[in-house]
Chain A
Amino acid sequence: MNPLLTFATARRVLAQLRNDPRTVALLLVTPVVLVALMKWVYLDQDRVFQRIGVPLVGIFPMTSMFLVTSITMLRERTTGTLERLLTTPLAKLDLLGGYALAFGAVAVLQGALTSAVAFGLLGLDVEGPLLAVVVLAVVNALLGTSMGLLVSAFANSEFQAVQFMPVFLMPQILLCGLIAPRAAMAPALEALSNVLPMTYAYDALSRVAGGEGFSGNVASDTLVLAVASLLALALGAATLRRRTE
C-alpha cells in the first residue's frame, strides 16, 4: 500500500463528483429536506420527531453512500478502468482506501450540514455531545461505502445495483429498532437484528440522543460498526480479482 496512491485516488473520486454538481446537490440537500419533511409530518408530535430524528440524521449517510459507491464502483468494473487500474502500481487497498477517504469526506460535509439544519433550525434536541452524532454519521457513511463496494461485485448493471439498496438496507431499517422496539419483535427477528450493523448504529445514536457520551455502549456500538466496515472492505477487496476469465 502507498498512501500517495490512496490520496491520488481519493482526489480523483472527488474530482469526478465535482464534475457532477447535481449529484453533489442531491447528496447534500436530500437529507436536509427529509429531516425538514419529518419535522412537518410530526409537527404536533414532537416526542416522535425527537425519538427518530437523531437516528435518522446519523443513519441517512449510510444509505446515500451505499448507493453512490455501489454505482461508481460498478462503473469502474464495467468501463474497463478497474482492469486498467489493476495493471498499474495501484494496490487494491489503495483503491478501496481512496474510495473510503473520498466518500468519508463527503459524509463529513453531509453530516455537518444535516446536523446544522436539524439541530440549529428545526429544534431537534440531542442530550449527548453533538459531535458524537456527526462522528457516528461519518462512521455509518464509511460502513455504507464499504457495503456498496462489496455489493457492486454482485451487480452486472446499474439497475441491479440500485435494487441492492432495498435488498440490503430496507430490512436493516425495519429491524434496527427505529420502526418498532427490538424487544417487542419475534425472537427470530430480534436475533437477526443482532447481526445487522444498522442495529448498532441506531442503538448508538438513540443513546447519544438520550444523553450518553462516547463511552460504554456508544463506544462498543461504534467499534462494532468499524469492524463491520473493515469486514465488508476486506470482502470487497477479495472480489477485486486481478485475473479474470
Chain B
Amino acid sequence: MTEPAISIHHLRVVRGGNEVLHNLDLDIEPGVITGLLGPSGCGKTTMMRAIVGVQKVASGQVTVLGQPAGSSSLRAKVGYVTQAPSVYEDLSIEANLHYFARLYGVPTGRATAALEAVGLSEHSTKLVRQLSGGQRARASLASALLASPEVLILDEPTVGLDPVLRAELWATFHQLAGDGATLLVSSHVMDEAERCDRLVLMREGAILAHCPPRQLLADTGASTVEDAFLSLVRKPGVAV
C-alpha cells in the first residue's frame, strides 16, 4: 500500500471527563473516498476534528500528508466542512466564497465553478440568511471546494438534500478523488456507503471495520451495509 494520506495511531480523546475515542488506529488511503459511517454520537465528528487539528487529544498521533495534524503547512491543503454550515449569514454566498478564496490564496474566479458544483449558481448574490438549510450547507461546502484541497474532510455533507442533488454531489466527490484528492465523508445514512471506495464503520468511539463496501458485505454475508453493521455489532469477534 502507498503512504497513507491520513494516519491515526493510538488516538484517545476525552471530552467532559468521558473517553469518546478509545485508542483508535486508522490509515486512510490517498486518492479515494472513504466513508465514515456510524450512529450519531459514535465519535465521527470528534475524529474528523482531530484530523483537521482543532480537537484537543488526550494521547496518540494524527498525521496528515506526513505532517502532524493541524500544522500550519497543512492548512491550505486540508479542507474541512463542519456539519452545521459555517458561513457568514450576513454576507452573500459569493462574498463568502471570495473571502475563503482569499484565505486559501486561490483566485476568487474559482467561486463560479464551486457554486456550479453545489448547484447554487443562480443564488450567488443572495445573503446566506435568506437561504434554506440545505442551501446553506451547500454554500459551506462550496467554500471548501474552491480551494481544491488535497484532503477534504466532510462531516455529513449531504444531509437534507434532495436525491438528484445528492447524486450530483457524489459525482463531484468522485471527480475530486479521480483528480487525486483524498476524501473522508461521514454519514449516518448507511445507504450512502455504496458510493464510497472504502468504509470505516464506527460505534461508541471504536472502529468496527475498515474495508471496501463489497468486502464488508462478503465477509459478513449481509445484503446491505446496514445489516452488515448490525451483524458486526452483534458479533464483535468478527475479524474484517
Contact = CB atoms under 8 A, between A and B. Distances in A.
A8 B75 CA distance: 17
A44 interface: no
B87 A87 contact: no
A235 interface: no
Interface string B103-133: 1110000000000000000000001000000
For chain A, the bracket of interface size reads 20 to 34
B229 to A, nearest CB: 28
Contacts of B102: 4-5, 8
Contacts of B16: 245
A87 B75 contact: yes
A12 B82 contact: no
B54 A243 contact: yes
A80 B86 contact: yes
B55 A19 contact: no
B213 interface: no
Interface stretch (B4-12, B25-33, B88-96, B181-189): B88-96
Contacts of A242: 53-54, 70
A156 to B, nearest CB: 15
Interface in A203-245: 242-245
A88 B91 contact: no
Interface in B71-102: 72, 75-76, 78, 80, 82, 84-92, 95, 99-100, 102
A87 B103 contact: no
Contacts of B214: none
A15 B125 CA distance: 13
A12 B56 contact: no
Given A88-B100, A242-B53, A243-B56, A16 B75 contact: no
A89 B82 contact: no
A160 interface: no
5 contacts: A8-B99, A12-B88, A84-B80, A88-B104, A245-B56
The 6 closest A-B pairs by CB, nearest first: A80-B86, A8-B102, A84-B86, A88-B103, A12-B99, A89-B75
